[in-house]
Amino acid sequence: MTLKIGILSDSHGWIHPEIISLMNSCDQIIHAGDIIEQQTLEVFTTPLTAVRGNNDAHLKFADIETFELFGNLLAVEHGHEHGWKTPSHDSLRKAHANAKMVIYGHTHKQVIDKTATPWIVNPGASGAVRNGGSSKCLILTIDELQKWEITAHHFANND
């Protein structure tokens, strides 16, 4: 059985409609913070886990979430604690040394860094704030052989 996990971050109160559709086709959704409004997440029909971003103090989410997937640890945090402008990948790797992958947000820039373990990924901004002209997300697919594959998605803002 293949597991498909949708990964998004930095929606800031709005999520691109194509991302909503893509996320709802997944088995699980992970939001890496800066949701801003709780009702932003009500568009999802797929089970969702979220962490608190630097703009989410009023929301009742944990700062860090971890999951075990087929014997591998997946860690999620917003990332602003590891460098305000650009979170340090070294710092994230040290904080989650036992993980296979760390998901963070905050920068609004999509990153897939598989140069070392754990992998460090940022889905980019799923909303319209500081997204460079397109809303972004990632899909993590884990197949029956436990091969992890990350696919990047970009959706132009036509509004």
β-pairing, 3-8 vs 28-31, is parallel
Q: Token digits for 148?
A: 């992890």
* Tens digit of each residue's pLDDT (9 = 90 or more) over 14-72: 999 999 999 999 999 999 999 999 999 999 999 999 999 999 999 999 999 999 999 99
Question: What CATH number has the domain spanning 3-156?
Answer: 3.60.21.10
What b/e readout covers 128-155, taking b as 16+ CB neighbours within 10 angstroms?
bbebeebbbbbbbebeeeeebebeebbb
pTM of the model: 0.95
User: What confidence score (pLDDT) does residue 80 get?
Assistant: 86
> Strands, DSSP E only, in 82-142?
99-103, 110-113, 119-123, 134-142
DSSP one-letter code for 128: S
User: What confidence score (pLDDT) does residue 45 get?
Assistant: 96
Task: Indicate if the pLDDT at residue 3 is higher than 90.
Answer: yes
* Domain ranges for the chain: 3-156
Q: Token digits for 7?
A: 């990964």
DSSP β-bridge partners for residue 7: 30, 138
Three-class DSSP category at 90: helix
Q: Are 152 and 140 in contact (CB under 8 A)?
A: no
User: What confidence score (pLDDT) does residue 145 get?
Assistant: 92
| Upstream peptide bond of 47 is cis (omega within 30 degrees of 0) | no
User: What confidence score (pLDDT) does residue 26 get?
Assistant: 99
User: What confidence score (pLDDT) does residue 46 get?
Assistant: 96
What b/e readout covers 103-115, taking b as 16+ CB neighbours within 10 angstroms?
bbbbbbbbbeeee
* Tens digit of each residue's pLDDT (9 = 90 or more) over 81-139: 876 677 789 999 999 999 999 999 999 999 999 999 999 999 999 999 888 889 999 99
Amino acid at 34: D
Radius of gyration of the chain (CA): 14
What ranges in the chain are assigned the alpha helix state H?
17-23, 89-95
Angle CA(41)–CA(151)–CA(117) in degrees, nearest 5? Answer: 100
User: What confidence score (pLDDT) does residue 72 get?
Assistant: 96
